[in-house]
Copies of this chain bind each other. A is one copy, B any other.
Protein backbone atom coordinates (compact mmCIF):
# COMPACT_ATOMS: atom_id res chain seq x y z
CA UNK A 1 0.00 0.00 0.00
CA UNK A 2 1.82 3.10 -1.20
CA UNK A 3 -0.20 5.58 0.72
CA UNK A 4 0.15 4.05 4.17
CA UNK A 5 2.70 5.68 6.39
CA UNK A 6 5.01 3.73 8.65
CA UNK A 7 4.09 4.38 12.28
CA UNK A 8 7.71 4.38 13.33
CA UNK A 9 8.54 7.12 10.85
CA UNK A 10 5.69 9.23 12.03
CA UNK A 11 6.59 8.88 15.67
CA UNK A 12 10.13 9.94 14.91
CA UNK A 13 9.02 12.89 12.87
CA UNK A 14 6.49 14.15 15.34
CA UNK A 15 7.60 14.49 18.92
CA UNK A 16 4.15 15.36 20.19
CA UNK A 17 2.61 12.15 18.87
CA UNK A 18 -0.56 11.17 20.69
CA UNK A 19 -0.99 7.42 20.95
CA UNK A 20 -4.37 6.08 22.07
CA UNK A 21 -5.32 2.40 21.94
CA UNK A 22 -2.35 1.73 19.67
CA UNK A 23 -3.43 4.40 17.16
CA UNK A 24 -1.39 7.57 16.49
CA UNK A 25 -4.03 10.28 16.48
CA UNK A 26 -2.15 13.28 15.17
CA UNK A 27 -0.63 13.35 11.75
CA UNK A 28 -2.24 12.56 8.44
CA UNK A 29 -4.23 9.35 7.98
CA UNK A 30 -2.83 8.99 4.51
CA UNK A 31 -0.30 10.79 2.37
CA UNK A 32 -2.51 13.38 0.71
CA UNK A 33 0.06 14.17 -1.97
CA UNK A 34 0.09 10.55 -3.11
CA UNK A 35 -3.70 10.50 -2.93
CA UNK A 36 -3.98 13.60 -5.10
CA UNK A 37 -1.52 12.16 -7.59
CA UNK A 38 -3.61 9.02 -7.79
CA UNK A 39 -6.74 11.07 -8.49
CA UNK A 40 -4.88 13.02 -11.19
CA UNK A 41 -3.66 9.88 -12.92
CA UNK A 42 -7.06 8.25 -12.74
CA UNK A 43 -8.69 11.40 -14.15
CA UNK A 44 -6.30 11.20 -17.09
CA UNK A 45 -7.49 7.65 -17.79
CA UNK A 46 -11.13 8.68 -17.46
CA UNK A 47 -10.55 11.60 -19.81
CA UNK A 48 -8.77 9.50 -22.43
CA UNK A 49 -10.69 6.27 -22.19
CA UNK A 50 -14.22 7.45 -21.52
CA UNK A 51 -14.77 11.10 -22.27
CA UNK A 52 -12.62 11.56 -25.39
CA UNK A 53 -13.96 8.33 -26.85
CA UNK A 54 -17.58 9.03 -25.97
CA UNK A 55 -18.63 10.14 -29.44
CA UNK A 56 -16.28 7.93 -31.41
CA UNK A 57 -18.16 5.35 -33.47
CA UNK A 58 -14.92 3.51 -34.26
CA UNK A 59 -14.72 2.51 -30.60
CA UNK A 60 -16.53 -0.52 -29.24
CA UNK A 61 -19.82 -0.14 -27.40
CA UNK A 62 -18.84 -3.00 -25.17
CA UNK A 63 -16.12 -5.57 -24.90
CA UNK A 64 -18.61 -8.29 -24.10
CA UNK A 65 -17.65 -11.15 -21.78
CA UNK A 66 -19.91 -13.70 -20.14
CA UNK A 67 -20.08 -13.45 -16.33
CA UNK A 68 -17.79 -16.39 -15.63
CA UNK A 69 -15.15 -15.17 -18.09
CA UNK A 70 -15.27 -11.60 -16.81
CA UNK A 71 -14.83 -12.79 -13.24
CA UNK A 72 -11.60 -14.48 -14.28
CA UNK A 73 -10.32 -11.39 -16.09
CA UNK A 74 -11.08 -8.90 -13.32
CA UNK A 75 -9.33 -9.38 -10.03
CA UNK A 76 -12.47 -8.93 -7.96
CA UNK A 77 -11.37 -10.29 -4.60
CA UNK A 78 -10.83 -7.90 -1.71
CA UNK A 79 -7.82 -8.89 0.40
CA UNK A 80 -6.32 -8.04 3.76
CA UNK A 81 -3.63 -5.82 2.30
CA UNK A 82 -4.13 -3.07 -0.22
CA UNK A 83 -2.89 -2.88 -3.80
CA UNK A 84 -0.33 -0.50 -5.28
CA UNK A 85 -1.44 2.58 -7.16
CA UNK A 86 -0.11 1.04 -10.33
CA UNK A 87 -2.28 -2.04 -9.87
CA UNK A 88 -5.28 0.12 -8.97
CA UNK A 89 -4.91 2.24 -12.09
CA UNK A 90 -4.79 -0.96 -14.14
CA UNK A 91 -7.98 -2.08 -12.40
CA UNK A 92 -9.63 1.23 -13.33
CA UNK A 93 -8.56 0.65 -16.95
CA UNK A 94 -10.08 -2.83 -16.87
CA UNK A 95 -13.31 -1.62 -15.31
CA UNK A 96 -13.65 0.92 -18.11
CA UNK A 97 -12.63 -1.52 -20.83
CA UNK A 98 -15.25 -4.14 -19.94
CA UNK A 99 -18.03 -1.72 -19.07
CA UNK A 100 -20.69 -0.73 -21.56
CA UNK A 101 -20.02 2.73 -23.03
CA UNK A 102 -23.48 4.11 -22.43
CA UNK A 103 -22.68 7.37 -24.23
CA UNK A 104 -21.64 5.61 -27.43
CA UNK A 105 -23.64 6.75 -30.49
CA UNK A 106 -24.42 3.10 -31.25
CA UNK A 107 -25.60 2.14 -27.78
CA UNK A 108 -29.34 1.55 -27.99
CA UNK A 109 -31.01 1.06 -24.66
CA UNK A 110 -33.58 2.65 -22.42
CA UNK A 111 -32.50 5.99 -20.94
CA UNK A 112 -29.42 6.78 -22.97
CA UNK A 113 -28.81 9.35 -25.69
CA UNK A 114 -25.13 10.31 -25.55
CA UNK A 115 -22.89 12.36 -23.32
CA UNK A 116 -23.58 15.77 -21.82
CA UNK A 117 -20.39 17.53 -20.75
CA UNK A 118 -22.09 20.00 -18.43
CA UNK A 119 -24.05 17.57 -16.30
CA UNK A 120 -20.89 15.47 -16.19
CA UNK A 121 -18.92 18.38 -14.71
CA UNK A 122 -21.71 18.99 -12.20
CA UNK A 123 -21.51 15.34 -11.19
CA UNK A 124 -17.75 15.52 -10.74
CA UNK A 125 -18.22 18.58 -8.50
CA UNK A 126 -20.88 16.76 -6.52
CA UNK A 127 -18.66 13.74 -5.97
CA UNK A 128 -15.72 15.88 -4.91
CA UNK A 129 -17.80 17.92 -2.46
CA UNK A 130 -19.78 14.86 -1.27
CA UNK A 131 -22.77 16.80 0.05
CA UNK A 132 -26.04 15.58 1.45
CA UNK A 133 -29.09 17.71 0.80
CA UNK A 134 -31.17 17.58 3.93
CA UNK A 135 -30.43 20.82 5.74
CA UNK A 136 -29.41 24.25 4.57
CA UNK A 137 -26.35 24.48 6.78
CA UNK A 138 -24.87 21.36 5.15
CA UNK A 139 -25.95 22.08 1.56
CA UNK A 140 -26.64 25.79 1.13
CA UNK A 141 -25.92 25.97 -2.60
CA UNK A 142 -27.49 22.67 -3.59
CA UNK A 143 -30.72 23.31 -1.71
CA UNK A 144 -31.16 26.68 -3.39
CA UNK A 145 -30.38 25.08 -6.75
CA UNK A 146 -32.97 22.36 -6.12
CA UNK A 147 -35.56 24.96 -5.20
CA UNK A 148 -34.84 26.92 -8.38
CA UNK A 149 -34.98 23.86 -10.61
CA UNK A 150 -38.22 22.63 -9.07
CA UNK A 151 -39.81 26.06 -9.56
CA UNK A 152 -38.74 26.06 -13.20
CA UNK A 153 -40.07 22.55 -13.82
CA UNK A 154 -43.36 23.53 -12.20
CA UNK A 155 -43.55 26.48 -14.60
CA UNK A 156 -43.30 24.09 -17.53
CA UNK A 157 -46.05 21.92 -16.10
CA UNK A 158 -48.20 25.02 -15.93
CA UNK A 159 -48.95 25.18 -12.20
CA UNK A 160 -48.99 28.53 -10.49
CA UNK A 161 -47.20 27.14 -7.48
CA UNK A 162 -46.15 23.83 -6.06
CA UNK A 163 -43.56 21.79 -4.29
CA UNK A 164 -41.29 18.91 -5.15
CA UNK A 165 -38.31 16.75 -4.35
CA UNK A 166 -35.53 15.10 -6.31
CA UNK A 167 -35.26 11.42 -5.48
CA UNK A 168 -33.62 8.21 -6.69
CA UNK A 169 -35.70 7.40 -9.74
CA UNK A 170 -39.01 7.47 -11.51
CA UNK A 171 -40.10 4.35 -9.64
CA UNK A 172 -39.51 6.08 -6.34
CA UNK A 173 -41.24 9.24 -7.60
CA UNK A 174 -44.29 7.15 -8.37
CA UNK A 175 -44.20 5.67 -4.85
CA UNK A 176 -43.99 9.15 -3.38
CA UNK A 177 -47.03 10.20 -5.37
CA UNK A 178 -49.04 7.11 -4.47
CA UNK A 179 -48.33 7.64 -0.80
CA UNK A 180 -49.13 11.36 -0.99
CA UNK A 181 -52.44 10.66 -2.66
CA UNK A 182 -53.24 8.10 0.03
CA UNK A 183 -52.28 10.55 2.77
CA UNK A 184 -54.48 13.20 1.22
CA UNK A 185 -57.33 10.70 0.98
CA UNK A 186 -56.98 9.65 4.60
CA UNK A 187 -54.29 11.37 6.70
CA UNK A 188 -54.87 8.89 9.52
CA UNK A 189 -53.13 6.16 7.51
CA UNK A 190 -49.80 7.70 8.47
CA UNK A 191 -50.37 6.71 12.09
CA UNK A 192 -52.97 3.94 11.87
CA UNK A 193 -51.84 2.08 8.76
CA UNK A 194 -54.14 0.33 6.35
CA UNK A 195 -55.36 -2.48 8.55
CA UNK A 196 -59.14 -2.47 9.09
CA UNK A 197 -59.54 0.29 6.49
CA UNK A 198 -61.58 -0.20 3.34
CA UNK A 199 -59.66 -1.59 0.42
CA UNK A 200 -57.86 1.26 -1.39
CA UNK A 201 -57.92 1.05 -5.18
CA UNK A 202 -55.92 2.90 -7.80
CA UNK A 203 -56.19 3.01 -11.58
CA UNK A 204 -53.55 3.04 -14.25
CA UNK A 205 -53.33 1.89 -17.85
CA UNK A 206 -52.31 -1.62 -18.83
CA UNK A 207 -49.33 -0.03 -20.60
CA UNK A 208 -48.04 1.70 -17.44
CA UNK A 209 -44.55 1.27 -16.03
CA UNK A 210 -44.01 -1.75 -13.78
CA UNK A 211 -43.16 0.55 -10.87
CA UNK A 212 -46.90 0.97 -10.29
CA UNK A 213 -47.17 -2.65 -9.22
CA UNK A 214 -43.97 -2.41 -7.20
CA UNK A 215 -45.25 0.70 -5.45
CA UNK A 216 -48.65 -0.82 -4.68
CA UNK A 217 -47.04 -3.85 -3.13
CA UNK A 218 -44.38 -1.85 -1.25
CA UNK A 219 -46.92 0.56 0.17
CA UNK A 220 -49.15 -2.22 1.43
CA UNK A 221 -51.91 -1.49 -1.06
CA UNK A 222 -51.45 -4.76 -2.92
CA UNK A 223 -51.00 -5.35 -6.64
CA UNK A 224 -54.54 -6.71 -6.98
CA UNK A 225 -55.83 -3.30 -6.02
CA UNK A 226 -54.20 -1.74 -9.04
CA UNK A 227 -56.99 -1.73 -11.61
CA UNK A 228 -55.49 -1.77 -15.07
CA UNK A 229 -57.44 0.24 -17.60
CA UNK A 230 -57.67 -0.90 -21.20
CA UNK A 231 -55.78 1.08 -23.80
CA UNK A 232 -56.62 1.85 -27.40
CA UNK A 233 -54.66 0.59 -30.39
CA UNK A 234 -52.03 3.29 -29.80
CA UNK A 235 -51.49 2.31 -26.15
CA UNK A 236 -53.45 5.21 -24.62
CA UNK A 237 -55.75 4.78 -21.66
CA UNK A 238 -59.43 4.76 -22.73
CA UNK A 239 -61.25 7.31 -20.53
CA UNK A 240 -64.60 5.51 -20.82
CA UNK A 241 -62.96 2.36 -19.48
CA UNK A 242 -61.53 4.34 -16.58
CA UNK A 243 -64.98 5.69 -15.75
CA UNK A 244 -66.38 2.14 -15.80
CA UNK A 245 -63.66 0.80 -13.52
CA UNK A 246 -64.09 3.62 -11.00
CA UNK A 247 -67.77 2.83 -10.85
CA UNK A 248 -67.05 -0.88 -10.50
CA UNK A 249 -64.68 -0.17 -7.59
CA UNK A 250 -67.29 1.97 -5.87
CA UNK A 251 -69.90 -0.76 -6.28
CA UNK A 252 -67.52 -3.27 -4.75
CA UNK A 253 -67.32 -1.08 -1.68
CA UNK A 254 -63.65 -0.34 -2.13
CA UNK A 255 -62.12 3.11 -1.89
CA UNK A 256 -60.76 4.56 -5.16
CA UNK A 257 -58.21 7.27 -4.40
CA UNK A 258 -55.80 7.69 -7.31
CA UNK A 259 -55.44 7.62 -11.08
CA UNK A 260 -51.91 7.26 -12.49
CA UNK A 261 -51.83 8.43 -16.07
CA UNK A 262 -48.74 7.85 -18.16
CA UNK A 263 -47.13 10.46 -20.39
CA UNK A 264 -44.78 8.41 -22.52
CA UNK A 265 -45.29 4.70 -21.91
CA UNK A 266 -42.23 2.48 -21.69
CA UNK A 267 -42.79 0.36 -24.75
CA UNK A 268 -44.93 2.34 -27.19
CA UNK A 269 -44.21 5.86 -25.96
CA UNK A 270 -47.93 6.56 -25.72
CA UNK A 271 -49.45 9.56 -23.98
CA UNK A 272 -52.67 9.08 -22.03
CA UNK A 273 -55.38 11.72 -22.74
CA UNK A 274 -54.73 13.83 -19.65
CA UNK A 275 -57.52 16.32 -20.08
CA UNK A 276 -60.25 13.70 -20.28
CA UNK A 277 -58.71 11.73 -17.43
CA UNK A 278 -58.56 14.91 -15.33
CA UNK A 279 -62.31 15.37 -15.90
CA UNK A 280 -63.00 11.92 -14.48
CA UNK A 281 -60.65 12.56 -11.53
CA UNK A 282 -62.41 15.82 -10.75
CA UNK A 283 -65.83 14.21 -10.99
CA UNK A 284 -64.88 11.43 -8.57
CA UNK A 285 -62.51 13.39 -6.33
CA UNK A 286 -59.49 11.29 -7.26
CA UNK A 287 -55.84 12.38 -7.11
CA UNK A 288 -54.32 12.58 -10.59
CA UNK A 289 -50.68 11.55 -10.82
CA UNK A 290 -48.93 11.72 -14.18
CA UNK A 291 -45.96 9.42 -14.65
CA UNK A 292 -44.08 11.61 -17.10
CA UNK A 293 -40.73 10.06 -16.20
CA UNK A 294 -40.11 9.46 -19.87
CA UNK A 295 -42.45 11.92 -21.60
CA UNK A 296 -42.00 14.91 -19.29
CA UNK A 297 -39.07 16.28 -21.25
CA UNK A 298 -41.39 17.05 -24.16
CA UNK A 299 -42.70 19.92 -22.01
CA UNK A 300 -39.50 21.80 -22.88
CA UNK A 301 -40.35 21.75 -26.59
CA UNK A 302 -42.86 24.28 -27.87
CA UNK A 303 -43.43 21.95 -30.79
CA UNK A 304 -44.08 18.76 -28.82
CA UNK A 305 -45.43 19.93 -25.46
CA UNK A 306 -48.95 19.41 -26.79
CA UNK A 307 -48.37 15.71 -26.19
CA UNK A 308 -48.92 16.46 -22.50
CA UNK A 309 -51.95 18.69 -23.00
CA UNK A 310 -53.83 18.86 -19.70
CA UNK A 311 -50.88 18.09 -17.44
CA UNK A 312 -51.45 21.33 -15.51
CA UNK A 313 -54.53 19.63 -14.06
CA UNK A 314 -52.44 16.88 -12.42
CA UNK A 315 -51.91 16.81 -8.66
CA UNK A 316 -48.44 15.35 -9.04
CA UNK A 317 -45.98 14.65 -11.83
CA UNK A 318 -42.89 12.41 -12.07
CA UNK A 319 -40.31 13.72 -14.56
CA UNK A 320 -36.79 12.35 -15.17
CA UNK A 321 -34.37 14.76 -16.84
CA UNK A 322 -31.82 11.92 -16.89
CA UNK A 323 -33.53 10.37 -19.90
CA UNK A 324 -34.07 12.37 -23.09
CA UNK A 325 -32.36 15.46 -21.67
CA UNK A 326 -29.13 13.54 -20.74
CA UNK A 327 -28.73 14.82 -17.18
CA UNK A 328 -27.02 11.62 -16.01
CA UNK A 329 -28.39 8.84 -13.86
CA UNK A 330 -30.16 9.62 -11.56
CA UNK A 331 -31.98 12.89 -11.97
CA UNK A 332 -35.67 12.53 -11.14
CA UNK A 333 -38.15 14.93 -9.66
CA UNK A 334 -41.52 14.37 -8.12
CA UNK A 335 -43.51 17.58 -8.46
CA UNK A 336 -46.60 18.32 -6.40
CA UNK A 337 -49.21 20.94 -7.08
CA UNK A 338 -50.13 21.42 -3.44
CA UNK A 339 -48.21 24.23 -1.82
CA UNK A 340 -49.68 24.03 1.67
CA UNK A 341 -46.93 21.73 2.95
CA UNK A 342 -48.57 18.40 2.08
CA UNK A 343 -45.22 16.85 1.18
CA UNK A 344 -43.81 17.75 4.58
CA UNK A 345 -46.92 16.75 6.49
CA UNK A 346 -46.96 13.39 4.77
CA UNK A 347 -43.27 12.58 5.14
CA UNK A 348 -42.13 14.32 8.30
CA UNK A 349 -40.69 12.31 11.14
CA UNK A 350 -39.45 15.47 12.90
CA UNK A 351 -36.08 14.08 13.92
CA UNK A 352 -34.87 16.46 16.59
CA UNK A 353 -31.19 15.81 15.96
CA UNK A 354 -31.32 17.06 12.37
CA UNK A 355 -34.29 19.29 11.87
CA UNK A 356 -34.35 21.62 14.84
CA UNK A 357 -37.00 24.29 14.48
CA UNK A 358 -35.02 26.95 16.33
CA UNK A 359 -32.02 27.31 14.03
CA UNK A 360 -30.56 30.71 13.19
CA UNK A 361 -31.88 30.64 9.61
CA UNK A 362 -35.22 30.05 7.89
CA UNK A 363 -35.65 26.27 8.35
CA UNK A 364 -38.19 26.07 5.54
CA UNK A 365 -35.07 25.57 3.38
CA UNK A 366 -34.40 22.24 5.10
CA UNK A 367 -35.85 19.45 2.94
CA UNK A 368 -35.19 16.40 5.12
CA UNK A 369 -38.79 16.17 6.27
CA UNK A 370 -40.07 16.03 2.69
CA UNK A 371 -38.08 12.92 1.90
CA UNK A 372 -38.16 9.21 2.63
CA UNK A 373 -34.37 9.33 2.63
CA UNK A 374 -32.08 10.80 5.25
CA UNK A 375 -28.90 11.58 3.29
CA UNK A 376 -29.81 12.56 -0.26
CA UNK A 377 -27.75 13.44 -3.33
CA UNK A 378 -27.99 16.86 -5.00
CA UNK A 379 -29.35 15.52 -8.28
CA UNK A 380 -30.97 18.82 -9.24
CA UNK A 381 -27.53 20.38 -9.62
CA UNK A 382 -26.55 18.49 -12.77
CA UNK A 383 -29.79 19.47 -14.45
CA UNK A 384 -29.27 23.06 -13.39
CA UNK A 385 -25.72 23.37 -14.75
CA UNK A 386 -26.77 21.76 -18.02
CA UNK A 387 -29.73 24.13 -18.30
CA UNK A 388 -27.46 27.14 -17.59
CA UNK A 389 -25.09 25.92 -20.31
CA UNK A 390 -27.60 25.11 -23.04
CA UNK A 391 -30.42 27.44 -22.16
CA UNK A 392 -34.03 26.37 -22.56
CA UNK A 393 -33.50 26.59 -26.31
CA UNK A 394 -30.67 24.08 -26.18
CA UNK A 395 -32.75 21.64 -24.18
CA UNK A 396 -35.61 22.15 -26.60
CA UNK A 397 -33.29 21.27 -29.49
CA UNK A 398 -32.46 17.98 -27.80
CA UNK A 399 -36.10 17.02 -27.63
CA UNK A 400 -36.83 18.16 -31.18
CA UNK A 401 -33.82 16.29 -32.47
CA UNK A 402 -34.81 13.05 -30.70
CA UNK A 403 -38.28 13.17 -32.19
CA UNK A 404 -36.97 14.10 -35.64
CA UNK A 405 -34.62 11.10 -35.49
CA UNK A 406 -37.53 8.86 -34.64
CA UNK A 407 -39.45 10.32 -37.59
CA UNK A 408 -36.50 9.62 -39.88
CA UNK A 409 -36.24 6.05 -38.66
CA UNK A 410 -39.92 5.50 -39.37
CA UNK A 411 -39.48 6.69 -42.95
CA UNK A 412 -36.45 4.44 -43.42
CA UNK A 413 -38.34 1.45 -42.05
CA UNK A 414 -41.17 2.08 -44.46
CA UNK A 415 -38.76 2.21 -47.37
CA UNK A 416 -36.94 -1.03 -46.61
CA UNK A 417 -37.98 -4.54 -47.36
CA UNK A 418 -38.29 -6.88 -44.41
CA UNK A 419 -39.05 -4.14 -41.89
CA UNK A 420 -42.51 -3.89 -40.46
CA UNK A 421 -43.60 -0.87 -38.45
CA UNK A 422 -45.91 -1.71 -35.54
CA UNK A 423 -47.54 1.69 -35.34
CA UNK A 424 -46.90 5.34 -36.13
CA UNK A 425 -45.02 6.63 -33.07
CA UNK A 426 -46.14 9.60 -31.01
CA UNK A 427 -42.81 10.02 -29.31
CA UNK A 428 -39.24 8.68 -29.65
CA UNK A 429 -40.20 4.99 -29.29
CA UNK A 430 -40.21 3.27 -32.68
CA UNK A 431 -41.53 -0.28 -32.57
CA UNK A 432 -40.86 -2.49 -35.52
CA UNK A 433 -40.14 -6.05 -36.58
CA UNK A 434 -37.29 -7.17 -38.72
CA UNK A 435 -38.46 -10.12 -40.82
CA UNK A 436 -35.50 -12.10 -42.17
CA UNK A 437 -35.66 -13.17 -45.86
CA UNK A 438 -36.46 -16.80 -44.96
CA UNK A 439 -39.70 -15.77 -43.26
CA UNK A 440 -40.91 -13.01 -45.58
CA UNK A 441 -43.15 -15.24 -47.60
CA UNK A 442 -44.45 -17.20 -44.64
CA UNK A 443 -48.07 -16.85 -43.58
CA UNK A 444 -48.85 -14.89 -40.41
CA UNK A 445 -49.69 -17.33 -37.60
CA UNK A 446 -48.33 -19.01 -34.46
CA UNK A 447 -45.60 -20.81 -36.39
CA UNK A 448 -44.43 -17.59 -38.02
CA UNK A 449 -44.16 -15.80 -34.68
CA UNK A 450 -42.33 -18.67 -33.02
CA UNK A 451 -39.76 -18.76 -35.78
CA UNK A 452 -39.36 -15.01 -35.75
CA UNK A 453 -38.81 -15.05 -32.00
CA UNK A 454 -36.15 -17.77 -32.29
CA UNK A 455 -34.27 -15.83 -34.93
CA UNK A 456 -34.38 -12.61 -32.94
CA UNK A 457 -33.00 -14.43 -29.91
CA UNK A 458 -30.14 -15.72 -31.96
CA UNK A 459 -29.51 -12.31 -33.49
CA UNK A 460 -29.30 -10.68 -30.07
CA UNK A 461 -26.53 -13.00 -28.96
CA UNK A 462 -24.80 -12.54 -32.33
CA UNK A 463 -25.03 -8.78 -31.93
CA UNK A 464 -23.24 -9.00 -28.62
CA UNK A 465 -20.61 -11.13 -30.28
CA UNK A 466 -20.19 -8.42 -32.90
CA UNK A 467 -19.74 -5.75 -30.25
CA UNK A 468 -16.50 -7.43 -29.29
CA UNK A 469 -15.08 -7.15 -32.77
CA UNK A 470 -13.84 -3.63 -33.42
CA UNK A 471 -16.27 -1.96 -35.74
CA UNK A 472 -14.82 -0.10 -38.68
CA UNK A 473 -15.18 3.58 -39.27
CA UNK A 474 -18.47 4.46 -40.90
CA UNK A 475 -19.66 7.60 -42.50
CA UNK A 476 -23.31 6.91 -42.59
CA UNK A 477 -25.83 9.61 -43.17
CA UNK A 478 -27.43 9.12 -39.80
CA UNK A 479 -26.37 7.24 -36.72
CA UNK A 480 -29.25 6.34 -34.51
Contact = CB atoms under 8 A, between A and B. Distances in A.
Interface in A211-231: 211, 213-225
Interface in A166-211: 168-172, 175, 179, 182, 189-200, 209-211
Given A224-B192, A478-B26, A373 B46 contact: no
A81 interface: yes
Given A99-B141, A140-B70, A47 B39 contact: yes
Interface in A335-367: 347, 349-351, 353-354, 358-362, 365
Interface in A22-52: 22-23, 25-26, 28-30, 32, 35-36, 38-40, 42-43, 46-47, 50-52
A432 interface: no
Interface in A99-153: 99-103, 109-112, 114-115, 117-118, 120-121, 123-125, 127-132, 136-142, 144-145, 148-149, 152
Interface stretch (A235-243, A269-277, A383-391, A434-442): A383-391
A102 B125 contact: no
Contacts of A117: 3, 30, 35-36, 38-39
Interface stretch (A244-252, A280-288, A399-407): A399-407
B478 A328 contact: no
B478 A42 contact: no
B169 A388 contact: no
Interface stretch (A13-21, A308-316, A419-427, A443-451): A13-21
A127 B127 contact: yes
A377 interface: yes
A287 to B, nearest CB: 16
A424 B477 CA distance: 72
A361 to B, nearest CB: 6
Given A144-B70, A210-B351, A390-B1, A128 B170 contact: no
Contact of A222 (B132, B152, B190, B398): B190
A322 B457 CA distance: 41
A92 interface: yes
Given A21-B403, A137-B100, A223 B190 contact: yes
Contact of A36 (B51, B80, B82, B149): B51
A10 interface: no
A394 interface: yes
A191 B217 contact: yes
B219 A219 contact: yes
A433 interface: no
B193 A221 contact: yes
Contacts of A25: 401, 404-405, 408, 477-478
A471 interface: no
A102 B129 CA distance: 6
Contact of A194 (B128, B152, B193): B193
A58 interface: no
B80 A464 contact: no
Contacts of A224: 191-193
A12 interface: no
Contacts of A460: 359-360
A453 B92 CA distance: 51
Interface in A296-346: 303, 322, 328-330
A374 B171 contact: yes
A190 B217 contact: yes
A409 to B, nearest CB: 10
A137 B401 CA distance: 27
B210 A199 contact: no
Given A36-B47, A47-B36, A168-B168, A349 B148 contact: no
Contacts of A127: 120, 123-124, 127, 328
A6 interface: no
A-B complex: 6 closest residue pairs judged by Cβ atoms: A193-B222, A220-B220, A360-B461, A35-B117, A194-B194, A23-B404
28 contacts: A22-B404, A23-B397, A25-B401, A25-B408, A29-B114, A29-B401, A32-B54, A36-B117, A43-B43, A46-B128, A51-B128, A78-B391, A88-B385, A92-B125, A94-B141, A95-B125, A98-B140, A99-B140, A99-B141, A110-B353, A110-B354, A112-B130, A123-B127, A190-B223, A193-B225, A194-B194, A194-B222, A220-B220
